[in-house]
Chains A and B, each alone.
Chain A
């Protein structure tokens, strides 16, 4: 039982490049989330998926897209990376609102 698994752990992108962050959970949770964490700002919700087949915007969705591929997987895509997207990204799944986080992806855009 791995919980929530994110890949990659680290990534460096050039401005304008695209990439997809992968997230999978094996806890059979319906809800999944993507957050970004910046120094002094806590965790901010980018997108979430209340159940398979649905997605909705969070607090900071601009510049991102998501796909809920199936119940297990929820991916985050940066179509054209910008330096402002340098951050640590966390995926989470939840049961009864209790979030379980992945190990995070540290993304640097240069």
Chain B
């Protein structure tokens, strides 16, 4: 089955700096890679996702890059702000009939943005 590893487990950045979180996956058939943000005591919320037919996707200050050959994908947050402080989870899934919607999540990265 799929295995997703996420690094680092914690990340401290100064406000205004960039943050990068990396995930690697094992199943070469995985083709959908979302990122979720979870604030303390709240539910996870989708912030950006990428499908295997593209290599990069941007949405304002966040971007995700995908390297299918190396089987890794990364979340990039630029110009970090205190409200970016949260736990971020990556996930991988393949949408084949026998495993549709079966997500494997990374263990999470605690991001702390200090003013």
Contacts and interface: CB of A to CB of B under 8 A. Distances in A.
Interface of A: 31, 33, 40-45, 48, 50, 58-59, 90, 94, 97-104
Contacts of A102: 43
A45 B34 contact: no
A50 B100 contact: yes
Task: Indicate the size class of the contact surface on chain B.
Answer: 20 to 34
Contacts of A31: 100-101
B44 A43 contact: yes
Interface of B: 1, 6, 9, 32, 34, 36, 42-46, 49, 89, 91, 93, 95, 100-108
Contact of A45 (B9, B45, B102, B106): B102
21 contacts: A40-B9, A40-B107, A42-B89, A42-B107, A43-B103, A43-B105, A45-B103, A50-B100, A58-B102, A59-B1, A90-B43, A97-B34, A97-B95, A98-B49, A99-B34, A99-B36, A99-B103, A101-B45, A102-B43, A103-B42, A103-B43
